[in-house]
C-alpha cells in the first residue's frame, strides 16, 4: 500500500509539535538530555518566558513533557523514560507543587 504525502505528513504531526511548538521555545534536544534537573530547568525557563502559552507556566511545561513521553511510547528507551519521569518530579519541585 502506497501512502499519499498527506497521510504520511499527518502521521508526523506529533514530531512537528515537539519541534515547532509556539507555546514553548524548547532548547534543541531537550528531551534527549541525560540530566533530569537540566531538562526540568529548561522547560521551566521556556514556560516562564513564553508569551504564547494558554495555560499557566507549570501546566504548559508539564504538558509538553508528558506529551513527549506519551508520543514516544514504546520507542522511548527505558533509561531515557526514567530520566523524563524524574524530570516531572524535578519540575514539580521547581514550581513548589510537591
Q: What is the pLDDT of residue 87?
A: 97
CB 16 within 8 A of CB 8: no
Q: In whole angstroms, give the CA distance from residue 54 to residue 52.
A: 7
Tell me what pLDDT residue 54 has: 85
pTM: 0.78
The separation between CA 67 and the C-alpha centre of its own chain, rounded to angstroms, equals 6
Nearest to 42 by CA among 58, 27, 59: 27
Task: Label each residue of 15-68 as H, E or C.
Answer: HHHHHHCCCCCCCCCHHHCCCHHHHHHHHHHHHHHCCCCCCCHHHHHHHHHHHH
pLDDT digits (tens, 9 = 90+) for 4-36: 555 555 566 556 665 665 668 888 899 999 999
Amino acid at each position: 500500500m502506497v501512502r499519499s504525502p498527506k497521510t504520511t505528513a499527518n502521521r508526523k504531526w506529533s514530531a512537528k509539535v515537539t519541534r515547532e511548538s509556539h507555546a514553548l521555545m524548547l532548547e534543541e534536544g531537550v528531551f534527549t538530555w541525560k540530566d533530569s534537573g537540566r531538562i526540568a530547568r529548561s522547560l521551566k525557563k521556556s514556560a516562564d518566558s513564553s508569551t504564547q502559552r494558554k495555560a499557566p507556566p507549570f501546566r504548559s511545561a508539564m504538558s509538553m513533557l508528558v506529551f513527549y513521553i506519551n508520543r514516544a511510547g514504546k520507542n522511548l528507551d527505558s533509561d531515557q523514560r526514567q530520566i523524563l519521569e524524574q524530570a516531572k518530579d524535578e519540575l514539580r519541585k521547581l514550581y513548589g507543587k510537591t
